[in-house]
Structure formats: C-alpha cells, structure tokens
Structure 1
Amino acid sequence: MDVTVVWAAIIALGLFMYVVLDGFDLGIGIVFPFFPDEKERDLMMNTVAPVWDGNETWLVLGGAGLFAVFPAVYSTVLSALYLPLIFMLVCLIFRGVSFEIRAKANRTKHLWDLAFIGGSAGATFFQGIALGAFLQGIPVIDGAYAGDAFGWLTPFSLLTGLGLVVTYALLGCCWLVAKTEGDLQRRLHRVVWPLTIVLLGFIAMVSIWTPLQDPNIAQRWFHDGLFYRLLPVPFLVAVCAFFMHRAVRERHHNTPFALALLLVLLGYAGLLVSLWPYAIPSSMTLWEAAAPRSSQMFTLVGAAVILPIIIAYTTMGYWVFRGKVRHGDQHHYH
C-alpha cells in the first residue's frame, strides 16, 4: 500500500467536501444582495444555521492532514499564499460573527447583513485566488518559497477567484431552491440558469488558460495520452447544463442542487488529473513532499478514527434538518 497516495486521497476528499458543503452556505451570502427582503434573508440563513459551522470541519481536516503528512507543501504554500489566506480567514470571521449576532440585532441588522455578504464573497474570492496561484505554480528553491509577497496576484488568479464566486453562488442558489418554496423559490429558480451560463463561461476560460500558462500541464493533457481520457469531461459538463436548464424550466426542487454538485465534481476531477503526481505544480511531487512513512502510518490511524466520525455527524446533521424551511422556523444559531 502506498500510504502517500492514501493520504493524498484523504486530503483531496477533505478539500472537496469543504468546497461542496461550505461552498453552498458561502454562496447564500453571495446571492443575498438579490433578495433584500428581511424576512426572506432570515429564511435563507435559517436553511444553513444548523449545519454551517460543521461544514468548516473539512477545511480543518485538510489543513491538519497537510501539516502532518506533507509538511513541505504546508510550509511552502502557506509562505506563498500567506496574504490571501489571512484575508480569507478575516472574511470567515466576519461571516461567523454575523451568524451569531444578526439574529439578535435590531437597529444594526443591516450592518450584519453587509458583514455576511462581504465575508461570504470575500472568503470565496480569496479561496479562488489561492487556487489560481497554486495552479500557476509556486517557485521553490532548496525546499523553500522563492517568490515575493504578491506573487499570488496575477490575472489568472483573479479569474479563478471570480470563477469560484460564481460557483459558490450557483451552489447556494440551488441549495435554497431545495430548501424553500413559494414565491421565493420561483425567484431563485430564475437566478439558477443565468448563473449556470456564467459558470460554464468561467469553466471554458480556465480550461483553456490552464495548459497555456503551464507547459507541464499542457504536456500532460496533449502529449501523454491523457487528452482522450479527458474528452468525456466537457461532454458531461454539457449534459449537466442541458439537464440543469430542463430542471429549472420544470421547477424541480432537488435536481438543480444535485447537478450543481456534479458540475463541481467534474471540475475538481479535471483539476486533480492535471496536477497528478505533483504536490506543488512543476516543483515537488507527492513523494518528495511527504513526511517519513512512519509518520504517515501513525497519523493514518488517527484519520481512520476521526474520518468516520466526521462523516457520521455531518450526515446526521443534514438528516435531522432535512426538508423545507419555512417562515417562523427557529433554526437560527443560538
């Protein structure tokens, strides 16, 4: 058993679960400006109030796994992306505080709405910037970051930042379609398809730009026999878009969210295939970045215990609070 690959899979799973679960509740904050009615905003926040903080567990799992098993990646990537990650955490703090205080605020409720919107959009944007900077490659010399403090700020990283904002907005909108009803749900349905079109545009731009700006990814896509294996991905994206249009037209409740998840999964799978076998693109492979095997085995025991517990309580939380959320439901966080 190659324990390095096992750990890479665990961290990849943790990051994907974070993107999916925290993505839709960040997305709710991003679409907040389109729904200015206070009661509707209360309802929208109540759809995620019981589960939003548990969603962030997956980010902690991914970060802790990276620190324990790929310390070279942890130190190098954090040095390179220190500023966008700090900005992301500050935005998450504002968003978390707005969850706590907004439900009890009266005169300052509009300020906490702004904190929720800004925190959600800002955290998402800086996550996307960090992703773009990582994909572009991080210069490493003698195992240490060799760039400057603003090496992450590039046109490509700005593009991926905006792309992730649209992605999370679509996830949030589709989640709300599944959790609401009546006039609010009808207006949410009208937002889903335009967001899908914009997201498809970002997917196309990132897919074209990625191999152009990294010769190693271009080599992997077009010269190592991977191109034909990746061909089904754009086809499946088009199929998802077709069914999304039909689901919106026929006013389906749960199908749009399932299709949005599938779009994210397809993009994530393409990303992982492009990066393999690098832990840092073009600089360091998984095995070069990994901790000693004894350390990996020791931490794997802990992961084997913790991972099922996280999956179990996450599943239970969503099961207990399944179904529609209606005005007057007291699901807000106390």
Structure 2
Amino acid sequence: MIEFWATVLALAILLYVTLDGFDLGVGMLFPFAPDEAGRRQMLASISPVWDGNETWLVVAAATLFGAFPLVYSILLSAFYLPLLVMLAGLILRGVAFEFRYKTERFRWVWDAGFVAGSYAAAFIQGTAVGAIVQGLPIENGAYAGEPFAWARPFALLCGVGLCIGYAMIGACWIAGKAHGELRTFAFGALPRLLGALAAFLAVVFAWSLLIDLPVLQRWIERPLLLLCPAVGLGAFIMLMRSVRRGDDRRLFLAGAAIFAAAFATLAGSFLPYILPFSLTLRQAAAPEASLDFLFWGAGLFVLPLTLAYTAAVYVIFRGRVRADQGYH
C-alpha cells in the first residue's frame, strides 16, 4: 500500500506541475500580450480548466497529510512562510479572473494581481524544489532549520528556472489555442524562452557539480536514469523544430514531455527516499491500517473521479478559442 500512495503522490505532483504550470505560465506572459483582445483570449483559453488544474495541488497535499504525515509536518515547518505567499498568490489569481471584467478604471489592479500571483506561485514552487534537492536540515524526524533556511542561492535559482519552464509551456498552450496576433506572439516568445531554459539547465547543472549535490551520485549508481534527460532532450529538439515550422500540433505535448522527464529524473534519483537523503518512504508512511482506510475512499473513488473529470474537461473544451472570446 505504501507503493500505491507513493505513486498517487507522484502522479498528483506531475499533473499539477504540468497542468497548473501552463496556466501559471499564461499568467506570467499576460502583461506581454499584444492588446486587450489578446489578454481576453489568454484568459478564455484557461478559464475552463484552471480551477480543475489546482485540484491536483489539493490531491498532493491531502496525500501527504494522510499517507505521509511526517513529510507533511516537515515541509510545512520548513516552508510555512513561502507556502502562505503561494496560497495568497493562487487566491489572488482566482479573484482577478472575475473582478477584472467588472471594472474598467481599476482593471489594471486586477491584471497586476493576476500576474503577481502567477509569478509568486511559480517562483515559490521552484524554490521549494531546489531547497528539497539541496537537502533540508532534519533531526529526529522534525525540521531543524531556520525560518528562511530555504532561501539559499541554489534554491532561488531553481525558483527562477521554474518560472521560465512554466512560461515556456504556457506559450506552447497559447500557440495551440489562440488565433492571429496572439498566436504569433506565442511563437515569437518560444525561442527566447527555450534559450533561457537551456541556459538555466546548463547553469544549474554546473552549480550542482560545484556544490557536489548528493543527488548527482545517484546518476553514477543508476546509469539508467540518464534515459530521462535523454527523453527530455528529444522533446526539447522536437519543440524547437515545431517552433521553426510554425506547427502547433505537438508543442504542448513536447513541453509536457520535458516536465515529465525532469520529474522522472528527480524521482528516480530520490527513491527510496521521499526527502533526500534523510527520510525513506517506509519511514515516512502512516500506519498500514490508515493507508488501507484511505484506499477504500480516496484511492478507490475520489482519485478515479478526479482523473475522469480532468480528462473530460480537456476533451470537451479542446480546440481553439475564438478571437473575440472572453472569460465568460
């Protein structure tokens, strides 16, 4: 049962990062849209799915709370302040969706809130990942660091990197959903974002070697892990070719494959640890009876229903948005 809930947690995180990642990316690109009609198209492209995308963040948090409570307590202690900022940013985004259409004079306020919330959520998520990869101070099963121990340079760089990645996959989404000037804008942004992403990956790899991250030793011990970056590189090349050809059919799938390859690389490097390299899945898991109890409710019914809902929404609202379409 531990393996089942570890798989659920991995799936929830991957779906959240990919799906909410692109709509956060749309928010980050929002101020650079060519005009108000383009901004309305951007909002219309994500309005049917953005709230469902965030459901996977709830699923991941609930899985941690129920199946791996020790990890939940450690992460909440380590990232209490940034998580509050992240949640405030996500709430501000949701409010801005509605309120920007109710006013003209103060529309710029809600647009700024939408953009700021997108950047804040993305940056904090990336910083948290960087801090976890670098290692959290844990003693006797509890967080033993300072309130701002997460704000180390390597972790902050990872925050910037995730912002670039989200903006990249957001541009892929816009290119496949928009018309006219907005579609041209997305294709124009992608080469710069791909260049920035490649530069970030090169810098973070060099920095990892410089500080001798323990996770790099796993690549030597488990050479099969190199297949994951190879898949990511293949997706990166496919994405660049699609951009050159102006072909939007595979853009989003290629962007999603890059995220999946990065996630698989990290997950494969961590296992059997859930917090590298101090806490294993088995050490962090709730009692077997609790895991069984969760399975008969959340695992057997809630998870399949959430997956079905997510799939249905993307099928129903597939295709491009109209050039004159707004949020409602």
Q: What are the equivalent positions in structure 2 for 1:48-87 lying under 5 Å apart? A: 48-87=46-85
- What's the CA shift string for 1:166-202, capped at 9, x where partnerless? 0100111100000012232122111112211211222
Tell me which residue corresponds to 1:190: 188
**What TM-score does the superposition give when structure 1 sets the normalisation length?**
0.94
Please, which of 287, 294, 314 is the counterpart of residue 292 of structure 1? 287
Tell me which residue corresponds to 1:263: 258
Tell me which residue corresponds to 2:128: 130
Contact 2:178 2:323 in 1 (8 A): no
Secondary structure of the corresponding residue to residue 282 of structure 1: coil
Call closer, same or farther: CA 1:218–1:237 in 2, change over 3 Å. Answer: closer
Call closer, same or farther: CA 1:188–1:215 in 2, change over 3 Å. Answer: closer
Count of residue correspondences: 327
Aligned letter for 1:308?
P
Q: Does 1:249 align with 2:247?
A: no
Aligned letter for 1:153?
A
Aligned letter for 1:237?
G
Greater Cα offset, 118-127 or 297-306? 297-306
Tell me which residue corresponds to 1:173: 171
What is the rounded CA distance, in whole Å, between the counterparts of 1:210 and 1:86 in structure 2?
A: 28
Secondary structure of the corresponding residue to residue 279 of structure 1: strand
Please, which of 2, 5, 28 is the counterpart of residue 4 of structure 1? 2
Secondary structure of the corresponding residue to residue 122 of structure 2: helix
Tell me which residue corresponds to 2:321: 325
Gaps of 5+ in 2: none
Tell me which residue corresponds to 1:310: 306
Contact 2:37 2:324 in 1 (8 A): no
Deviation at 1:28, TM superposition (A): 0.5
Please, which of 103, 106, 121 is the counterpart of residue 105 of structure 1? 103
What is the rounded CA distance, in whole Å, between the counterparts of 1:66 and 1:141 in structure 2?
A: 19
**What TM-score does the superposition give when structure 2 sets the normalisation length?**
0.95
Q: Does 1:277 align with 2:275?
A: no
Call closer, same or farther: CA 1:10–1:214 in 2, change over 3 Å. Answer: farther
- What's the CA shift string for 1:126-148, capped at 9, x where partnerless? 11111111111111112211111
Tell me which residue corresponds to 1:236: 231
Greater Cα offset, 98-107 or 38-47? 98-107
Contact 2:34 2:185 in 1 (8 A): no
Contact 1:193 1:244 in 2 (8 A): no
What is the rounded CA distance, in whole Å, between the counterparts of 2:235 and 2:135 in structure 1?
A: 30
Call closer, same or farther: CA 1:215–1:132 in 2, change over 3 Å. Answer: closer
Identity %: 43
What is the rounded CA distance, in whole Å, between the counterparts of 2:291 and 2:211 in structure 1?
A: 33
What is the rounded CA distance, in whole Å, between the counterparts of 1:288 and 1:233 in structure 2?
A: 27
Aligned letter for 1:15?
I
Contact 1:211 1:217 in 2 (8 A): no
